Amino acid sequence: MKALSVLVAAAGLAGIAVGPVTPSGAGRETSAAVDVGNAACRDCHRDISDRYSRTAMARTSGPAAAGLVTGAFTHAGSGMHYRVSSDGKTPTLAYDRPGDAVAGAVALKYFVGSNTRGRTFLFAVDRFLYQSPINFYARTGTWDMSPGYGDLTSMPLNHVVDQTCLFCHASRVAAPEPGTSNRFAGEAFLQDGVGCERCHGAGSEHVARRARLLDPSRLSPDARDSLCTQCHLEGQARIARAGRMLTDFRPGERLSETMAVFVFANAANAARGAVSHVESLAVSACKRMSGDRMSCLSCHDPHEQPEPAARAGYYRGKCLQCHGTLAADHHADRPDCTGCHMPRVESADIGHTAVTDHRILRDPSAVVATAAGDRLIPFGGAAAGERELGLAYAEVALRGNARAANEARGLLERVVRNMRKTRKC
């Protein structure tokens, strides 16, 4: 694994392009524009701003005190007892293990997660930002270890939180101090949750009445879909293009200009992951027959979430836009289309969590899940070379996949050899 780490470092820094990536151009925000935050939008767009503020995306991060969930539990594997509480001023995570000297407490700085599925908390040590090792899971109303921590026998307080971690939960994220990935001089982010500008582009020029904001409906299908896939296409590995960072994506661009997202070849027909909606929708009959006419926006309004009592009727209305002939006689006594054709199932990768199956199956009970396999492919047919693929396999190898480690080693050795030949020429 040490030899593989050296190859990863060499290939990751090589700056070897995988071929020309044509900029999408249309709709890209101007270089002069900077983010101004949701408050600046609300001055003119009060109604839509207020509705959006109640959505899960808008509520997915903030000060710990504003989203505190108190509780306690003992992790059986490590014997550690955890308690989340507040004295009225400072939210705190305390921990101890009966019978030894392991005990302490950290002040909680931020919460992450809208609590639709769950919530965790972040803390800082000498301005270095870390994630709590425990999560609150909303569906079961229980505390448990964070994903990936359940089998540990020690107490981890070293889960680094960098810009990439914050990218899909906060906005106006600050740059870390030079030479670090997670030490922030001030606040780690200036806008709670996913802000307006994450989809509409930086707003300073618009607020000054010098430019229009980006309108997603006017973008090319790929650039339009990228507004959603920047966060909702997790895959097995997200590999930055040479010379780019994962956080470089800007509204109006194609996500593939910034990164290649790799999935297992049969992932969409395997068990559902917590963030697998895009892969699942891509194999649905609805998407395959509709092509670019269908997107996440066909069924979801980013600015508003229907109340629980109204969801069945709301999404039935979306289905009937295409399936109107079924309105009168197709199970009129059961108007919840999604309840039958998009059931919620247990997440394959995060405990205590259910996910909606976006394959939109005619009869979900007749479909047998198959293994995802371990062959990686770039999602959506995006261009990817040996550098990207090798780094993707290396990322999967970190989770204990021996075959992925061998694939990564072979690919990255070729990348490094080619890099050295190029430098000699």
Give the C-alpha separation, 286 to 299, whole Å: 12
Residue with more model confidence, 341 or 349 = 341
pLDDT greater than 50 at residue 25: no
At 152, which amino acid appears? L
Which pLDDT value is given to residue 30? 45
What percent of the chain shows pLDDT beyond 70? 91
Give me the mean pLDDT over the 277-281 stretch: 91
Residue 44: strand, helix, or coil? coil
Mean pLDDT of the chain: 89
pLDDT one-digit tens code per residue, 367-412: 877 777 889 999 999 999 999 999 999 999 998 899 999 999 999 9
At 345, which amino acid appears? V
Which pLDDT value is given to residue 36? 96
pLDDT one-digit tens code per residue, 160-215: 999 999 999 999 999 999 999 999 999 999 999 999 999 999 999 999 999 999 99
Which pLDDT value is given to residue 17? 39
At 53, which amino acid appears? S
What does DSSP assign to residue 37? Answer: -
Confidence band for 132, pLDDT divided at 50, 70 and 90: very high
Residue with tokens 């027909």: 269
CA atoms within 13 A on the CB side of 355: 21
What is the crossing angle of helices 386-397 and 2-12, to 10°? 140
With 0-12 / 13-18 / 19 or more C-beta atoms within 10 angstroms meaning exposed / middle / buried, residue 15 is: exposed
Confidence band for 10, pLDDT divided at 50, 70 and 90: low
pLDDT greater than 80 at residue 221: yes
pLDDT one-digit tens code per residue, 241-259: 999 999 999 999 999 999 9
Q: Per the structure block, which two tokens stand in for 317?
A: 């209305």
pLDDT greater than 50 at residue 348: yes
Which pairing describes strands 189-192 and 128-131: parallel, antiparallel, or unpaired?
Answer: unpaired
Which pLDDT value is given to residue 349? 75
Which pLDDT value is given to residue 240? 96
Separation in Å, CA 376 to CA 41, 263, 369, 379, 387: 41, 5, 18, 9, 13
Give me the mean pLDDT over the 334-341 stretch: 91
List all residues 6 or more positions away from 40 whose beta carbon is below 8 Å from its beta carbon: 203, 207
Confidence band for 4, pLDDT divided at 50, 70 and 90: low
Give me the mean pLDDT over the 229-246 stretch: 94
pLDDT greater than 70 at residue 318: yes
Give the C-alpha separation, 417 to 233, whole Å: 32
Residue with tokens 């290649």: 260
Q: Per the structure block, which two tokens stand in for 22?
A: 């044509």
pLDDT greater than 70 at residue 29: no
Which pLDDT value is given to residue 19? 38
Separation in Å, CA 88 to CA 62, 92, 103, 337, 375: 17, 10, 22, 45, 51
Q: Per the structure block, which two tokens stand in for 297?
A: 């926006």
Residue 118: strand, helix, or coil? strand
At 313, which amino acid appears? G
- Could you tell me if residue 15 is left (phi over 0), alpha (psi between -120 and 50 degrees) or otherwise beta? left
- Residue of 133, 75, 141 lying closest to 108 (CA atoms): 133
Residue with more model confidence, 416 or 269 = 416
From the centroid of its chain, how far is CA 303?
A: 18
Top mean pLDDT of 2-11, 15-24, 350-359 is at: 350-359
List all residues 6 or more positions away from 378 whose beta carbon is below 8 Å from its beta carbon: 260, 261, 262, 384, 388, 389
